[in-house]
Structure 1
Amino acid sequence: MSMVGNHLEYCDRRFYELTVPIAPLETLHTGSRWAEGPVWIADGGYLIWSDIPNNRMLRWVPDLGVGVYRINANYSNGNTRDREGRLVSCEHGGRRVTRTEWDGRITVLADRYDGRRLNAPNDVVVKSDGSIWFTDPTYGILSDYEGFKAPQEQDGCYVFRLDPVTGDLRVVADDFVKPNGLAFSPDESILYVADSGATHDDNGPHHIRAFAVGDDGRLSRPRVFAEVSPGVPDGFRVDVEGNVWTSARDGVLCYAPDGALLGKILIPQMVSNLTFGGVRRNQLFITATSTLYTLNLGIAGAGRA
């Protein structure tokens, strides 16, 4: 293991090709209570992220800085964009997944399953066929800090797939303790899902699992892809070569597609989530407790912005 500067830790030589050793870790903004859900808006050239306890969403614009994107954001958490470029958000406060239309209207995509309210949708990703996949742990209903304390109505914490055309909502995985971040491999043949159950149980899971994705949207052949330590995996993203960049207590871990730990970006605060962005999609944006950081990499993120 070797260090470059004070923020890059190398465990495998492959990590040198993915990073820029001289690139500084930059602080773009601080002052959130729990920063989460970053999403890059490529056609606008800016980043949006959630500040959950402050019940707002913030926006960073290069050369202009940070402003409030949305107040009374229903304690939004994870964010992404659909195939038409519209913002899709997980809301703790409304216990729902919503879409922001081009005219600013909010469309509710899912708020109930089997006639009962969802727990607190956490993170979300959209597949190339337009289907919306999201996780539904209970973090947003455990207290009044990140939502509204309320009893759990669902029998478990599930991973869901939503067909936005038909409205069909189905459970694709039901054996997680606290399903959290999720992302597809570049060819969408694999779905990675974090289980952060150790946040409320010392013996709980703190790993990322991988599933084979069928043409019909069903998941099969589950396996543990990586055990994340210290802390738990929260949000994560995949680059164009299939490497998984995930949050951890002390930074961002990078795993090769074969599960080998390649290296780490050390961050002064607990990391919650991250996303790729910038003109070439090789700029990593990292939300960590109260702060938004950025670091230029030697590789681009997979998918569209």
Structure 2
Amino acid sequence: MVDRFRTRFEVADERFRRVNGDEWVECLWTGGRWLEGPAWFPAARHLIFSDIPNDRLLRWDETTGAVGVFRQPAGHANGHTVDRRGRLVSCEQGNRRVTRTEPDGSDTVLADRWQGKRFNSPNDVVEHSDGSIWFTDPSYGIDSDYEGHLGDSEIGGNHVYRVTSDGEVRRVADDFGQPNGLAFSPDESQLYVVDTRARHLRRFTVTGDGALRGGDVFATCDAGSFDGVRLDQAGRVWVAAHDGLHCFDPDGTLLGKLLLPEVVANFTFGGPKRNHLYICASSSLYSLRVNVNGVRYPGW
């Protein structure tokens, strides 16, 4: 039997009352050390997520409710995305690279170096409709052996990168403390990037040539630090924090929060209508059906 508890929405702005959902939050599974990176596969009706310190990827099956090991070892993988051909793209902190899992189960390395130097520990990843892969590269996986392998930074900083469809790696932002979660706006004209060290979320304009402009602070966290970020179809910005999920209007106003009993690391919208929230929080995987829909990007 799935454990559940009553949903707690905290309203900060009356516009948040349009956002609602199930009366109960379900705990689908617990028993991890630090869960991260949920990625929803609509065709298979399953969710892949990371248990970083235990160096494994887990799979939750919607049809049976079963959770099993998808891959172990897993390069201390952190964040994931599903590309437009239905393939898993992963940030492997321990292996200091970004990979794609092919239909036959083999791995293709999309990026492991910039200007000949190894990345620190790729953290979170998204795909643009032009086929480029964007990811953050903080130092968490080389800071200790807990989430990766203790090591030195060859690059000497924590940055944001873009891998073009022909495999060229470009650095697109170099003024972060610890870049973390990232997500495009519905029309992909803007990119939101968390800086966990600075405890805020920044918003950039995406130019036609795949560069970034601006980068002003969009929101500051009032409960620990931000982590993963996603947008819904109306452009509202949802961000993981220590007390749950924070929801912001596109104008930057904090609308409200979904409060959870564990520190939230990351989450995604899933289900056939992208109105299921799947939330990785400390040791547990939670789910809630809401009355908003996750963004469908151009080309999906």
TM-score tier (shorter): over 0.9
Which consecutive residues of structure 2, in runs of 5 or more, have no partner in the other structure? 1-5
SS of the residue corresponding to residue 17 of structure 2 reads: helix
1:249 equivalent in structure 2? 242
Matches within 5 A, 1:111-190: 111-164=112-165, 166-190=166-190
1:55 equivalent in structure 2? 55
Q: In 1, Cα distance between the equivalents of 2:211 and 2:20?
A: 35
2:251 equivalent in structure 1? 258
Which consecutive residues of structure 1, in runs of 5 or more, have no partner in the other structure? 198-204
Matches within 5 A, 1:1-305: 7-20=8-21, 22-64=22-64, 65-164=66-165, 166-197=166-197, 205-303=198-296
TM-score by length of 1: 0.94
Q: In 1, Cα distance between the equivalents of 2:53 and 2:284?
A: 14
SS of the residue corresponding to residue 57 of structure 1 reads: strand
Which whole-Å deviations, capped at 9, do the CAs of 1:245-291 have from their partners, x for residues lacking one?
Answer: 11111111000100111110111110000100012110001100000
Percentage of matched positions with identical amino acids: 54
SS of the residue corresponding to residue 85 of structure 2 reads: coil
SS of the residue corresponding to residue 174 of structure 2 reads: strand
Q: In 1, Cα distance between the equivalents of 2:254 and 2:138?
A: 27
Q: Give, in angstroms, the shift of residue 13 of structure 1.
A: 1.9
Q: In 1, Cα distance between the equivalents of 2:218 and 2:110?
A: 30
Aligned length: 292
SS of the residue corresponding to residue 25 of structure 1 reads: strand
SS of the residue corresponding to residue 175 of structure 1 reads: coil
Contact 1:229 1:249 (8 Å CA) reproduced: no
SS of the residue corresponding to residue 16 of structure 1 reads: helix
Q: Which runs of 4+ in 1 moved over 6 A?
A: none
Which whole-Å deviations, capped at 9, do the CAs of 1:108-142 have from their partners, x for residues lacking one?
Answer: 11111111110000000001111000000000000
1:201 equivalent in structure 2? none
SS of the residue corresponding to residue 14 of structure 1 reads: helix
Contact 2:45 2:63 (8 Å CA) reproduced: no
Q: In 1, Cα distance between the equivalents of 2:237 and 2:90?
A: 22
Q: Give, in angstroms, the shift of residue 303 of structure 1.
A: 2.5
Cα gap change, 1:83 to 1:63, in 2 (>3 Å): closer
Contact 1:23 1:296 (8 Å CA) reproduced: no
Contact 1:86 1:100 (8 Å CA) reproduced: yes
Contact 1:240 1:300 (8 Å CA) reproduced: yes
Contact 2:7 2:24 (8 Å CA) reproduced: no
SS of the residue corresponding to residue 281 of structure 1 reads: coil
SS of the residue corresponding to residue 36 of structure 2 reads: strand
Q: In 1, Cα distance between the equivalents of 2:222 and 2:195?
A: 13
Q: Give, in angstroms, the shift of residue 6 of structure 1.
A: 5.4
Aligned-partner residue type, residue 216 of structure 1? D
TM-score by length of 2: 0.95
Aligned-partner residue type, residue 93 of structure 1? G
Q: In 2, Cα distance between the equivalents of 1:275 and 1:111?
A: 25
SS of the residue corresponding to residue 9 of structure 1 reads: strand
Q: In 2, Cα distance between the equivalents of 1:215 and 1:57?
A: 35
